A and B are shown apart, each in its own frame.
Chain A
């Protein structure tokens, strides 16, 4: 989405900073799942159809119904985004991301627009995806209270890494509050 001003980013040994536009599109298409802060669902598609949309563009997708079941929305698959709550919309967005069966899930403030309880439910889904399905999930957040649950925490300030801590014993989600 952005180009690097300096340095290199390696993904599975490949330098993505030197990729051209087409290759980058393919990289996003096949390798990355993306969860936005404001969900960015297509308003005139149902939950299921929003997930199907992502399924269209990848090689080995999960079944959309399965993806929605994982995020716990099996009963709401025929609802339009306007008929869903914020948390539900965010979970549809996650289902859309995991349906692509990506190697890496990038989440931009996934709980930013949600209240604590809904936010927790969303984080629960993300952590299940990481631990049960074996995917790498990166969460970007301002909420430092979330940090204890992560396997690794990279702290940044003004665009620079100031700490890179591997946590051998992450705290369970139920043990934190914000």
Chain B
């Protein structure tokens, strides 16, 4: 007998297959989004953590002008230290066809910490001179293989070095060098060489790893290190540029991966609740019959909860397939920014099961409870037809002016809307949610465009930037001015990376830029849009820096250079510059706080059609980059964000569509008898559609304004999430995007109505003659 009951449920589903399909669709989307995003995050975390493990990534990076062998020994004796190793850190320029800068780490013997992973060729044996292990991304971007040679220019000399192997390094999973907002693999790379190959360079970097179960806090260890080595610059792993960037990025996706799926699950719960409730309502008599045949309540409830399982199983399967594609897609985008294994995403993460259990719980629960509700009546009451729905006057009718002017069909539609509040709520939520998400997507696009415009059109007023490999005295750079005598203006600036320690232990690693007092290369404005000149005292910082350091106008922060010099900087003003992790100071102000001589490291050039051929192979120049190249680079990296948002928008659109379909189908089935009657009365299809389908249009019109408001909230939230030291997306949305988003939603509604309208043809008039079921 129980099998017959199961059979009946299968047939019931077949009868309401479209509602069933829509619920499955919604649940699938929820599972796919939740497990897809988290699958990506967990794959990334596993891979990155695996890389850290196998490379034995350092826990601390210590910078000091000269790290002696005895320093290393002293560090090694500290109780928490597992390994320590000193390295020579040096940046060299390349010439001979490749215009780029390499960051060299020179080590003695074999690395024990930060062990690079060999991808091609051979490792160094510790004795070779003029041989190196090259960054795989840099090699790929420049078409280099192991066995090739590249030309270094060290000082005035040109030397050919052999690429012995191609490597990947856990320290450089994300590599955007000082003063650069996004990675540029063609122009910046890293390499490992033997310390003996660079005899003149002092050891200036010390890396160390801790024993696994250290009981000391970061602060205590840093204090220990300072006590042993004197005044040094210490970076822990949390603040190391690559690992902190990755952690922040994944944290952002994790938050989206929690927030959005919760919305999906809630909507799925609501829709299942209403759909199953509807099904139960239609099956009152069946339930009554089953009860009078002698089935117990729990048997029937158990069987109907099975409906939830039937929703869950296909949703799990489809959700899993989609989540794999989603994670793969995101991972593919991740490999653009990150130097990670290109093996694609994992197959499973625990989140898939969490999602599936959530869906099972929600759908079985909804089915169980609405069945329980129906079973409360006695079998005989269940077998009698339900009393006709009570018509009710609604509040709006009490406003005669409004009600009298409403057309006849308007009255029907309005009353119907207010009669079934749960359904109206579901429709409104669907519309508000999808409008918010679609506008959120458009808004993010607008905000990014606005950010790029603000950075590259308003703030940056120069055309080309030249970065020097090593700082140059102004008189030594005269030849560059001569080579560019066609330029409208050339402005020199000094820049170097500094570490600023915030109050709560966080470290910021900005680039301090010293510029002419009356420079015109960068046009600074404050948050109100007013122009800000470089002050004679103090520095200009960005709002994100101010927030990270908990600093305001007037506070003084300590900036530490890698050689250990500390420069006190007073915050003079906060400027609205959306890209770059930089602090600006005038030469006059700088001379007041530091005795360092002004040297040139960057040149900002204005002018069109300039001829750079004289400088192209100059060994002293690291980089000549036009503004449009920088912009293109930025856009490439923003693509990742944009794609993630596209995924969210598509999913939300599908969700909206599914909700609208459920709504339309339910409305149709509930009123099929009414529609058949209207048809007998001689209503044309058009007139019937007007009566029934206009409801959806009204829900859309009511919901849209709230959707727009929710959309603004979403843009703010996403903006806050994507802000990091290198860029800040301030929320904005253009009027045309709002209009376009709203039009899209309306088109959606009309499309659903169109599909529903086609069903009107097949209404069977004979059904109006049958008894009320």
Contacts and interface: CB of A to CB of B under 8 A. Distances in A.
Contacts of B772: 38
A23 B771 CA distance: 28
Interface in A34-63: 34, 36-38, 40, 42-46, 49, 52-54, 56-58
Q: Which of A1, A27, A52, A96 has the most CB of B within 10 A?
A: A1
A34 B389 contact: no
Nearest to B674: A42
Nearest to B389: A43
Given A25-B684, A57-B687, A82 B673 contact: no
A58 B683 CA distance: 10
Interface in A75-124: 80-83, 96, 100, 108
B681 A45 contact: no
A49 B389 contact: no
A40 B677 contact: yes
Contacts of A100: 681-682
Interface string B372-411: 0000000000000001111110000000000000001001
A17 to B, nearest CB: 16
A14 interface: no
A26 B416 contact: no
B391 A81 contact: yes
Contact of A38 (B390, B412, B684, B771): B771
A82 B765 contact: no
B416 A57 contact: no
A82 B765 CA distance: 23
How many B residues touch the partner, as a band?
A: 20 to 34
A36 B677 contact: yes
B293 interface: no
Given A25-B682, A44-B412, A57-B681, A81 B768 contact: no
A46 B391 contact: yes
B683 A57 contact: yes
A135 interface: no
Contact of A28 (B408, B411, B682): B682
A44 B682 contact: no
Interface in B751-773: 765-766, 768-772
Contact of B768 (A27, A36, A54, A57): A36
Q: Which of B392, B415, B419 has the most CB of A within 10 A?
A: B415
Contacts of A34: 680-681
Nearest to B685: A25
B412 A42 contact: yes
A42 B691 CA distance: 12
A56 B682 CA distance: 10
Contacts of B770: 38
Contacts of A42: 412, 674, 677
A44 B681 contact: no
B391 A44 contact: yes
Given A30-B682, A56-B408, A44 B389 contact: yes
Contact of A29 (B416, B673, B681, B769): B681
B768 A80 contact: no
B412 A29 contact: no
Interface residues of A, number: 33
Nearest to A37: B769
A43 B408 contact: no
Interface string B267-290: 000000000000000000000000
Contact of A26 (B389, B390, B682, B768): B682
A149 interface: no
B757 to A, nearest CB: 16
A58 B682 CA distance: 9
A82 B388 contact: yes
B386 to A, nearest CB: 11
A137 interface: no
B391 A82 contact: yes
Contacts of B679: 25
Interface in B501-524: none
B392 to A, nearest CB: 7
Nearest to A42: B674
A25 B419 CA distance: 30
Nearest to B761: A21
Contacts of A38: 769-772
A43 B671 CA distance: 10
A2 interface: yes
A49 B674 contact: no
A57 to B, nearest CB: 6
B681 A54 contact: yes
B680 A1 contact: yes
Contacts of B673: 40
A53 B390 CA distance: 18
A45 to B, nearest CB: 6
B766 A2 contact: yes
Contacts of A53: 408, 678, 681
Contacts of B768: 36, 40
A81 B673 CA distance: 15
Contacts of B388: 43, 81-82
A32 interface: yes
B679 to A, nearest CB: 8
B682 A29 contact: yes
A47 B659 CA distance: 34
Contacts of B392: 44, 80
Q: Which of B679, B683, B766 has the most CB of A within 10 A?
A: B683
A161 to B, nearest CB: 21
Nearest to A113: B771
A156 B145 CA distance: 97
Interface in A4-37: 25-30, 32, 34, 36-37
A43 B687 contact: no
B677 A1 contact: no
A28 B389 contact: no
Contacts of B680: 1, 28, 34, 36
A32 B683 CA distance: 12
Contacts of B678: 53
A43 B388 CA distance: 7
A123 B390 CA distance: 27
Nearest to A109: B769
Contacts of B411: 45, 49
B384 to A, nearest CB: 13
Contact of A44 (B408, B416, B683): B416
Contacts of A81: 388, 391
Given A44-B389, A53-B681, A80-B390, 12 more contacts: A25-B683, A25-B684, A29-B684, A34-B681, A40-B673, A42-B412, A42-B674, A43-B388, A44-B412, A45-B412, A54-B681, A80-B391
Interface of A: 1-2, 25-30, 32, 34, 36-38, 40, 42-46, 49, 52-54, 56-58, 80-83, 96, 100, 108
24 contacts: A29-B681, A29-B682, A29-B683, A34-B680, A36-B680, A36-B768, A37-B769, A38-B770, A38-B771, A40-B676, A40-B677, A42-B412, A42-B674, A42-B677, A43-B390, A43-B391, A43-B674, A44-B392, A44-B416, A45-B415, A57-B683, A82-B390, A83-B391, A100-B682
Interface of B: 387-392, 408, 411-412, 415-416, 419, 673-674, 676-684, 687, 765-766, 768-772
Q: Which 3 A-B pairs have the closest CB atoms?
A: A29-B682, A80-B391, A28-B682
